[in-house]
Chains A and B, each alone.
Chain A
Amino acid sequence: MLPFALLGVLGCGDDMEVAIPFEARVGSEPFACGRTYTGVGTTGTTYEPMDLRVYLHDVRLVTAEGTEVPLKLEQDARWQVEGTALLDFADKTGLCTNGTQATNLRITGTAPEGNYTGLRFKLGVPETQNHLDVSTAPSPLNDTSLYWGWRSGYLFTRIEGRTTGLPGGHVMHLGSTDCAPPPEGQTNGTAGCTFGNRPEVALDSFDLASGKVVLDLGALFSGSNLDENAAVPNTSVGCMSQQTDPDCAPVFSRMGLTHRSQEGAPGPQAFIKAE
């Protein structure tokens, strides 16, 4: 649960409007559909974007003393609803044929006036929203291209690109897996997922006035061979969050997530940083 009690302590004063810009890159290069990037992953392959969309939620600002204060996301009827936001870097040019022409490169909301030095959020859609009816849910939770019909949950990230070795495209779809049937006596939802797969992103030094959040696909894929798909039956080309897919191990590690086939603990979250 969000620590709403804190608002009682810190609230009451004036709220300030907050807008936080997000930028995507591949290594040092700005991300754009239609471009070709080189030197990506362990094989230094070429990478041509096909999609880049990411959900996030549970956004908190952090004070110098380390107190977390929720950023109340504005409900704009398009990109943000009930504390969940969709970032969309794909504009339907080049190979990016999915989704919308429109992009969304920032989150907006309000927080109590204060001196904040850090930013934290989680990737993905919270459990309370993850098993909605996509056909009637409010935007941005109404997009069938961000929904796993057979898992009855959302794709937290949809990161796809054509590489030299995988001309049909390499996919990185994050989402909850290993979900139990509905709770006793219920016929929908799930009693819980063993792997929620909602990475915590903690940017401990973030300047609200001038800072931006950077998603770096180069860093995300730095341990991955994007030219080859692991020859394990019944797994995706790339990673669709399956525990049985070794292709997930290096990307999960860079998101700070454990994966069955990892050796040892995951590395620190390296995909997203502050500038």
Chain B
Amino acid sequence: MAWRVGRRAGVLAVLAWLGAGCGATDGEAETYVWKLPAGFPTPRVPADNPMTEEKVQLGRRLFFDVRLSRNETQSCASCHDPARAFTEPLVTSQGSTGETHRRNAQGLANVAYATSLTWANPSLTTLEAQALVPLFGKEPVELGFGDREEELLGRLRAVPELAAEFQRAFPEAVEPVSVATLTRALASFQRSLISGNSAYDRYVYGNEVEAMTRQQKRGMELFFSERLECDHCHTGFNFQDATVHEATSEPILPFHNTGLYNEDGQGAYPAEDPGLIELTGRPEDMGRFRAPSLRNVAVTGPYMHDGSLATLSDVLDHYAAGGHARLVSGGETSPLQSGFVRGFTLTEQEREDVLAFLESLTDTEFLTDPRFADPSTTP
């Protein structure tokens, strides 16, 4: 909802820094070269943060900078490692002060296309807003700057070359180093993390018939089959239903209960993390989480919102059983779980084929792309 701005300085500051934003820079926004893979639509970018190479480079530098944690022990990359498609091998993450997060760090490949961010939050729909959570969040503490905003900004301003880079990336900003510019630079870098050169892409979009093995092709047939129903949630070019781009007329924000848990026979998830219901209060949202993209999924384990499934083989078992809750305790299907999680039977060969197909979604070039590496070690 837009709200009419008043006429005093506080408002002027907004408008002044928005000088770099909407309206004035339609042409400028087009100067950013996405280098999109074949078959990829142009990502949707907030009007007040058009993509520029300067912002991407600043964001990259900040993403790998431990100064973004209060005790200088962690950067964004500590939990989002490029070599693992910006995930980490921990079951659930640990913050800079040692607090344990209840959730598994999500990958950032193609995050530009995600309708909502994090595992189960319909209100976090931009990377700019999402960045506030690790920076300032206190439950748990991640980077540790909750209530310490000025300390963070002062620290960044005190590094001359960093302050200069902010100035170059946000030439219109009244205050070049601010929460607004920091989050916009981080968001711009993350939007540049496009992955679309896996064996699957070369086969489907690049007409390289030999890019995928015969086994992977058999697995692909199974993945897209009505028997397995995987592609209802892991759908489209990004293998993710919660996808938005420039041509999307009505973005959707889907969340699903996959029957991972059923604590009481009524579908309850553990109280520590009941999913979407925590924010919406709607009973039907119990246990609902966002389906992640499956790109590079072979290197992003462990899996699920709580990292409770160690391998892709475990994930297949979960879906084959019609939900992990039934796998461990038998019994009825959770009344809350998605109708697409019904269970299926695979031969040993078919299992291997599906796993081989998932391997074909690994984009080795993306995992080793120097453009996405720590600039201090890979200039």
B48 and A138 contacting across the interface, CB-CB below 8 Å? no
Q: Residues of B contacting A133 with CB < 8 Å? A: 128-129, 180
B interface residue count range (under 10 / 10 to 19 / 20 to 34 / 35 or more)? 35 or more
Question: Taking CB as reference atom, which chain B residue is nearest A181?
Answer: B122
B280 and A187 contacting across the interface, CB-CB below 8 Å? no
* Whole-angstrom CA separation of A190 from B279 in the bound complex: 11
Q: Residues of A contacting B115 with CB < 8 Å? A: 187
Q: Does A76 contact B (CB under 8 A)?
A: yes
Q: What number of A residues sit within 8 Å (CB to CB) of B?
A: 51
Q: Does B18 contact A (CB under 8 A)?
A: yes
Identify which of residues 96-131 in chain A touch chain B, using a CB-to-CB cut-off of 8 Å: 97-99, 127-129, 131
A178 and B251 contacting across the interface, CB-CB below 8 Å? no
Identify which of residues 121-149 in chain A touch chain B, using a CB-to-CB cut-off of 8 Å: 127-129, 131-139, 142-145, 147, 149
Q: Does A152 contact B (CB under 8 A)?
A: yes
Given A178-B281, A187-B251, the answer on whether A152 and B123 have CB atoms closer than 8 Å is yes
B149 CB to nearest chain A CB (Å) = 5
Question: A75 is contacted by which of B8, B179, B249 (Cβ under 8 Å)?
Answer: B8
A149 and B136 contacting across the interface, CB-CB below 8 Å? yes
Identify which of residues 3-55 in chain A touch chain B, using a CB-to-CB cut-off of 8 Å: none
B304 CB to nearest chain A CB (Å) = 18
* Whole-angstrom CA separation of A78 from B52 in the bound complex: 32
* Whole-angstrom CA separation of A184 from B115 in the bound complex: 13
B125 and A182 contacting across the interface, CB-CB below 8 Å? yes
B146 and A145 contacting across the interface, CB-CB below 8 Å? yes
Question: Taking CB as reference atom, which chain B residue is nearest A141?
Answer: B10
Q: Does A64 contact B (CB under 8 A)?
A: no
Q: Does B132 contact A (CB under 8 A)?
A: yes
Q: Does A95 contact B (CB under 8 A)?
A: no
Q: Does A177 contact B (CB under 8 A)?
A: yes
B14 and A138 contacting across the interface, CB-CB below 8 Å? yes
Q: Residues of A contacting B4 with CB < 8 Å? A: 82
* Whole-angstrom CA separation of A75 from B139 in the bound complex: 34
B10 and A138 contacting across the interface, CB-CB below 8 Å? yes
Q: Does B9 contact A (CB under 8 A)?
A: yes
A188 and B180 contacting across the interface, CB-CB below 8 Å? no
B163 CB to nearest chain A CB (Å) = 18
Given A78-B10, A149-B136, the answer on whether A135 and B183 have CB atoms closer than 8 Å is yes
Question: A149 is contacted by which of B14, B129, B273 (Cβ under 8 Å)?
Answer: B129
Given A179-B280, A189-B1, the answer on whether A75 and B6 have CB atoms closer than 8 Å is yes
Question: A81 is contacted by which of B6, B132, B249, B253 (Cβ under 8 Å)?
Answer: B6
Q: Does A234 contact B (CB under 8 A)?
A: yes
A234 and B278 contacting across the interface, CB-CB below 8 Å? yes
> Which residues from chain B sit less than 8 Å from chain A, CB to CB?
1, 3-11, 13-14, 17-18, 48, 115, 118, 121-126, 128-129, 132-133, 136-137, 139, 146-147, 149, 178-180, 183, 244, 249-251, 253, 270-274, 278-282
Ordered by A's residue number, 5 sampled pairs between the chains whose C-beta atoms are within 8 Å are A77-B10, A97-B147, A128-B3, A149-B136, A150-B121
Given contacts A139-B10, A182-B123, 10 further A-B contacts (CB under 8 A): A77-B10, A138-B8, A138-B14, A151-B279, A179-B123, A181-B253, A188-B125, A189-B123, A233-B272, A234-B278
